[in-house]
Structure 1
């Protein structure tokens, strides 16, 4: 009989673990099984970020370490499902990895957002056209000026390529010493207008492309990128 996998199985294992007293010999085993049960989910989330300038193996490591922190931080007595807790935690760690490592020089957040919008548009138009889109086609798709698209494309080029002197695989990553306080994040989001909260939820919660966010909000893809950039800037203030 195969061992159940997935976030539901992890949640069930953690509930069993929570019922045991501290020091019980089965607690360590249940924790290990809970992590293993959701590793496929962590790998799947990492693969969604592949092809953006960072090695897939590094992204899987980031997602796996974030999963461990989610397992240790999840309270099975709360009504929230394990997936509802773990997915935002893992996605947040992956985005933090890109912010910390994927840019070779400091690039303003709004320009990073535009660069990612151009990347998403390039992927979508390549699928439609069967070739790499021209700059003018990207500008038309994004309802943006060609100069704005060119600036975003230049910004995308400064994303750091994998380095030969990267840390040895498996070495501790200081970026995992802290997980953002979820309550504080919710309080910050509560200060934003409803439209900006929805844009952030669509982009970073549901993982939609800029074009898809734009379609949901009834605006252009470049407008969605600008809206997200302003929203993120507001959260940092």
Structure 2
């Protein structure tokens, strides 16, 4: 769905050395604060909340983002099953800690998007400073990730080790990774399930077409 990529990049430029990676939320990390709470407890979550960012550059148009925005409203599936799944997840979101958290007050017609610190480097759609990849993630002296390696698999354990050694705030600061949320209850990006994406009529047409081609060959 529509995502404020330009605004996120601008926020990174305005906060050099602080925001180095922004993950675009997906289904599995939409309620990241709840995931964090279940793993590390309330005291750690309180510190995570203090680390969360509510930047003026991410106070955006309420007609597009947030619960009543057109971006979230545009997310519909090609089947009733997918639509029910989206609505069920949205209901779960607003009953979760992430959904119940108080958002910051901004000007009329605006909604405040947040950046939540994450201890996991998601390889899904994200925005990252090129220099951070070149000079840190792939720095051969640090021996964290070899070029061509699976970054998510290699870097995430390093983030956890840094937090264990230096504490949550200091350990995380070196990696500077966050997840974007517009508090609409809908994730920004996701994988298409081919089985659910096609309607029954489209599936039948696809199967029949392939069957005909096989017979001809």
Per residue, is there more helix in 1 or in 2?
1
Q: Which interval holds the TM-score relative to the shorter structure?
A: under 0.3
* TM-score, normalisation: structure 1: 0.26
* TM-score, normalisation: structure 2: 0.27
Structure with larger RCO (C-alpha < 8 A, sep 6+): 2
